[in-house]
Amino acid sequence: MVTSKMEMLADDNASETLKPLVFRLHENAPAIIREVLLERGWTEFDQKEQDDTDWNLYWRNSPFPMTDHHSIKPWQRLNHYPEAVRITRKDYLARHLKRMKGAYGSTLYEFSPVAFIMPNDYVKFIAEYSKEIQSVGRPSYWICKPVHLSRGRGILIFQDIKDLVYHCTVIVQKYISNPLLISGYKLDLRLYVCVTSFCPLTIYTYEEGLVRFATEKFDLSSLDNVYAHLTNTSINKYGASYKTFKEGIGCGCKWTFSKFRSYLRIFGVDDMLLWQKMNNIVILTLLAVTPLPEASNCFELFGFDILIDDKFKPWLLEVNYNPALCLDCSIDDTVKRKLLHDIVELLNYKQVDAHRQNEMPGSKAVRRQVPWRRTGQSTPEQAPGLLSGRKVSTCISAPQTQPALQFARGSIHKVSSPTRKTARAHPRETLTSQLREKMNKPKTSSQVKTEAKNKQLPAAHSPFISAQLSRWSPSPEICNYKLSTRPYFLSDKDQMPTRQVGGFVLIFPFNEAALQASKDGTDVKSIIKEINKLVSKQNSTGQKKTKSV
Ligand code: ADP
């Protein structure tokens, strides 16, 4: 009985002190983030008006200074994990995957095309190149990519080594010359992956995603044609065929995963097996960079670029640090807007998080400095450097940036305004929607009375707030040794994290053994053992299905 009375009082107090959640955006953060958070009833942080810690989510396109990680508060989340760049730079990724291949065998780690980092691996590359000529009689195709550029800038594809020219660190990677084609067009997949913690490793993949098409037909006799060989939207939106209707594809250069999966099913392809293989790639890739320095209350949204070959084998091309969140077309709007809504759901804000600064209802803000545990590049927006006839992999892109940047910004406005209506079809029963609703309700006389009473209450008298705070604020003894902010994503009993949040599906830990192996530090060896079991199970189910078709 006592408890239920207290709970009622807690509810009352909560409704009295409803505050919106607050987001903070660093310069160049994508406009859609602001739109989505405003749609959800959040307010934007005002540096002049608000205290430095008076926000719940800080989003930026570049890594946070470590001081931001050190001073993180329980009600806050940062959108980058320290050192996540370890897998998002092409050369780092290649190095990590090579090491894992050496340690755990090429059967599992054979999903990334062979790569050489130049100039360091020049001799090794020549050896491989010559070996191929001797065994097959001709060289295969290679793709050369500057390690610190993105969006297809500075890429060249070659067969004859005479054509390989580079002026900066590049990776030279085996070119997948037998890609899956739809009506003759090459495509790749942009898979969204959200890591809510590296320690313990917790990975979600997003069920919906983007299929990105080249806008001219694939043709190995014209390696210079970026519109036929590269699937980056940042390139293809400037192609002559971008807006025209392309047979089998339609206008533009994108599909959703849903459409792609339906397409595969029509042709009897086991899209589930493909999905499982892609998830395995994600887990194995992220395992390659663990352990990362421990950090609490941050998350990472990665964009995995995956190419499928004509045998339906998925290949990992690269992992993106800040997957593009600009809206180039209505498909972008549909996928990315919902993605962001679901990310906010995944961040698991609780009602108490809206209080920030441990502020009590009706009392002055009480600041507590909690000694949370100390813990352990994205390039700015630029336009593509399209391949010219000259085969030079160049890192210089500055002169091209301006006009394209303006186009990109213009397109955000153009697309976002007509689609806003669809976006508003999203309001859900979330903390913020409830807050919004409650804030707009006129106060009842009993609420007014309670409010007046609350104003006189010392902070610790609110059972709701004190219960919540005691969960977040460590007692003095705990503060004496290294304490991690309790990860925000775990269930109260520290069991398996929530399996599905909106379109996000938990892919790691995938069973109890994987959960145990990732609890106190990541036991990669045991996890790999579990993955091997999982893969053989998936393969045998796949084979059974094929037989029965
Ligand atoms: P960027 O960061 O510049 O986008 P990516 O590695 O994603 O670099 O490559 C850009 C595009 O080039 C990909 O979207 C894909 O279409 C094509 N591509 C990249 N690597 C390969 C490869 N090994 N085989 C076939 N196509 C590739």
Residue 280, ligand 1, Cβ within 6 A: no
Q: How far is the CA of 185 from the centre of ligand 1 (A)?
A: 15
Ligand 1 center to residue 4 CA distance, Å? 59
Which residues lie closer than 8 Å to 536 by C-beta, 6 or more apart? none
Q: Atom 10, ligand 1: which residue's CA is nearest?
A: 152
**Number of compact structural domains in the chain:** 1
Q: What is the pLDDT, as a whole number, of residue 496?
A: 81
Give the closest residue (by CA) to ligand 1 atom 22. 175
Mutate-to-test residue for ligand 1 from 156, 159, 215, 232, highest number of ligand atoms within 8 A of CB? 232
Report the chain (549 residues): mean pLDDT per 10 consecutive residues. 44 60 94 97 93 93 92 93 91 96 94 97 96 91 94 94 93 98 98 93 96 98 97 96 96 97 95 96 95 88 98 97 95 97 94 73 37 32 33 43 28 34 39 44 44 34 29 31 51 72 96 89 92 89 65
Distance CA 465, CA 468 (A): 5
Per-residue pLDDT at 387: 32
307 CB less than 6 Å from ligand 1?
yes
pLDDT at residue number 548: 57
pLDDT reported for residue 417: 36
Residue nearest to atom 27 of ligand 1 (CA): 175
- The DSSP string of 168-215 is S-EEEEE---SB-EETTEEEEEEEEEEEEEETTEEEEEES--EEEE-S
Give 224 Cα–ligand 1 centroid separation in angstroms. Answer: 14
Report if residue 278 sits inside a domain: no
In a domain, 49, yes or no: yes
Query: Domain range spanning residue 39?
Result: 22-82
Q: What span, in angstroms and rounded, lies between the C-alpha atoms of 347 and 18?
A: 19
Q: Check residue 497 and give its pLDDT.
A: 87
The model carries a pTM of: 0.78
For the CA of 179, the nearest atom of ligand 1? 25
Does 231 map to a domain?
no
Note whether residue 37 is domain-resident.
yes
Residue 242 lies in a domain: no
Cα distance between residue 301 and residue 225, in whole Å:
31
Q: Residue 89: CB within 6 Å of ligand 1?
A: no
Instruction: Please state, in angstroms and rounded to a whole number, the distance separating the CA atoms of residues 548 and 41.
Output: 51
Q: With a 6 A CB cut-off, is 232 part of the ligand 1 pocket?
A: yes
Residue 77 belongs to some domain of the structure: yes
What spacing in Å lies between the alpha carbon of 274 and ligand 1's midpoint? Answer: 20
The Å distance, Cα 230 to ligand 1 centre, comes to: 6
Is the CB of residue 391 below 6 angstroms from any atom belonging to ligand 1?
A: no
Is 301 a pocket residue for ligand 1 (Cβ < 6 Å)? no
Alpha carbon 449 to chain centroid, angstroms: 47
Rounded-to-integer distance, Cα 356 and Cα 123, Å: 57
Give the CA-trace dihedral at 542, 545, 546, 547, to 10 degrees. Answer: 130
> What integer pLDDT is reported at residue 325 of this predicted model?
96
Q: Looking at the domain assignment, is residue 27 inside a domain?
A: yes
The residues that bridge with 504 in the sheet, in sequence order, are 206, 501
Residue 494 token pair: 């520290």
For residue 485, the model assigns a pLDDT of: 60
305 lines ligand 1 (CB under 6 A): yes
What is the structure's pLDDT at 222? 96
150 lines ligand 1 (CB under 6 A): yes
Ligand 1 centroid–CA 419 distance in Å is: 30
Q: What is the pLDDT of residue 307?
A: 98
The token pair at 2 is 């006592």
Is 383 within a domain? no
Ligand 1 centre to CA of 150 (Å) is: 9
For residue 172, the CA-to-ligand 1 centroid distance in Å is 11
Alpha-carbon span 255 to 491, nearest angstrom: 35
Query: Atom 23 (ligand 1): residue with closest C-alpha?
Result: 175
Q: For residues 428 and 395, give the distance between their C-alpha atoms in angstroms, rounded to a whole number.
A: 45
For residue 331 and ligand 1, the question of a CB distance below 6 A is answered with no
Identify the DSSP state of 444. P
